[in-house]
């Protein structure tokens, strides 16, 4: 009976100089590769840090231009500053970014410009108390700015009951949501004695659509009907306008309960 063949291993004492040299070369290559990766990462970090200091003046100018609503200055800085400015990495002493300042000021066109140049409408880092772009746009009472953010991809947090112990969204903690803004503007319109601009009510309808779940049922269908009625209402037909405002308010109430 033949015995199983046993694999023989070469002891360290029997290794040839070539074996030792090959093993050493492989280790050196691996070590050099790791060192190269580490150096590359360090260089990237150093470059980012350098850019923060190099662009210090331009960053201050960008924040000032956003505060004053100087679109031309903002666009010039974003287009021509080298290295390029990253709007999301610029903050003031209240942790407000250029986008947060634009939202708080209700400047819809400036919001679109900043997003075009890299600002994130869903940036999870808010200001010093946690307000994010959509929260501040609501506080600004500017429907156009809220709608601009929604069109640019801002995620809406629909009103829902939270489980005990679970944190609620910032906008709910300050008791102010896009739906609250829409209702407040409708209430203001209802108190006016003169006809309103149909475009303004159309903006409110557009805002509400972002809070509908099923596009073919419930509030979504009502919004379609209201849009059709809105297009047929003449500027002097005040009574029909009042009915539209009331019906839009009913839609908002239903959306809050869903």
| DSSP-assigned letters across all residues of 178-231 | HHHHHHHHHHHHHH-SSPPPHHHHHHHHHHHHTT-S-TTSTHHHHHHHHHHHHH
Residue 209 CB neighbours (<10 A)? 16
Instruction: Tell me the C-alpha distance between 17 and 3, whole Å.
Output: 33
Residue 235's pLDDT band, with cuts at 50, 70 and 90, is: very low
Range(s) of the chain covered by CATH 1.25.40.20? 53-155
- pLDDT tier at 172, thresholds 50, 70, 90: very low
Q: Which residues of 169-198 are buried (b: 16+ CB within 10 A; e: fewer)?
A: bbbbeeebbbbbbbbebbeebeeeeebbee
Positive or negative CA dihedral for 40, 45, 48, 51?
negative
30 sits in the region (left: phi over 0; alpha: psi -120 to 50; else beta) called alpha
Answer whether residue 185 shows pLDDT above 60: yes
Residue 190 pLDDT class (50, 70, 90 cuts): confident
Q: How confident is the model at residue 27 (pLDDT cuts 50, 70, 90)?
A: low
Query: Above 50 in pLDDT, residue 17?
Result: yes
Least confident range of 18-27, 110-119, 130-139, 191-200: 18-27
Please state the length of the chain: 258
**Stronger pLDDT, 31 or 180, i.e. the higher one:** 180
pLDDT digits (tens, 9 = 90+) for 30-70: 555 566 566 667 666 655 555 555 678 899 999 999 999 99
pLDDT number for residue 99: 97
C-beta of residue 195 within 8 angstroms of C-beta of residue 163: no
Looking at residue 253, what is its pLDDT? Answer: 86
The residue assigned the tokens 């060192």 is 35
Question: Rounded distance, CA 89 to CA 84, Å?
Answer: 11
Across 227-250, average pLDDT: 71
- Measured CA to CA in angstroms, residue 158 lies from 76, 87, 124, 178, 190 at distances of 37, 28, 17, 10, 25
* 37 vs 218, higher pLDDT: 218
Check residue 9 and report its DSSP letter.
-
pLDDT of 229 strictly over 90: no
Per residue in 111-164, pLDDT (tens digit) is 999 999 999 999 999 999 999 999 999 999 999 999 999 999 998 765 444 445
The reported pLDDT for the residue numbered 49 is: 57
CB-based contact 58:76 (threshold 8 Å): no
CATH topology of domain 53-155: 1.25.40
b vs e for 78-102, b when ≥16 Cβ sit within 10 Å of the residue's Cβ? beebeeebbbbebbbeeebbbbbbb
Mean predicted lDDT score pLDDT of the chain: 77
Residues in contact with 155: Cβ distance below 8 Å, sequence separation at least 6, in sequence order: 122
- pLDDT at position 171: 46
Say how many C-beta atoms besides its own lie within 10 A of residue 213's C-beta: 11
């Amino acid at each position: 009976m033949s015995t199983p063949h046993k694999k023989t291993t070469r002891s360290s004492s029997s290794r040839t100089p070539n074996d030792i040299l090959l093993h050493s070369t492989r280790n050196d290559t691996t070590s050099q590769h790791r060192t190269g990766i580490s150096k590359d990462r360090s260089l990237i970090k150093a470059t980012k840090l350098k850019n923060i200091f190099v662009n210090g003046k331009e960053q201050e100018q960008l924040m000032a231009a956003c505060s004053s609503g100087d679109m031309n200055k903002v666009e010039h800085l974003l287009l021509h500053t080298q290295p390029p400015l990253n709007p999301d990495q610029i903050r003031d002493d209240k942790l407000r970014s250029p986008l947060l300042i634009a939202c708080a000021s209700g400047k819809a066109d400036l919001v679109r410009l900043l997003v075009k140049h890299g600002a994130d409408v869903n940036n999870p880092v808010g200001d010093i108390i946690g307000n994010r772009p959509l929260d501040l746009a609501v506080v600004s009472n500017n429907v156009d700015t809220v709608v601009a953010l929604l069109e640019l991809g801002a995620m809406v947090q629909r009103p829902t009951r939270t489980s005990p112990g679970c944190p609620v969204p910032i906008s709910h903690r300050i008791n102010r949501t896009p739906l609250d803004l829409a209702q407040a503007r409708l209430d203001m319109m209802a108190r006016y004695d003169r006809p309103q601009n149909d475009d303004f009510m159309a903006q409110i309808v557009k805002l509400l659509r972002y809070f509908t779940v099923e596009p073919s049922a419930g509030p979504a269908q009502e919004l379609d009907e209201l849009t059709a009625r809105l297009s047929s209402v003449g500027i002097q037909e005040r009574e029909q306008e009042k009915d539209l405002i009331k019906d839009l308010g009913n839609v908002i109430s239903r959306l809050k309960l869903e």
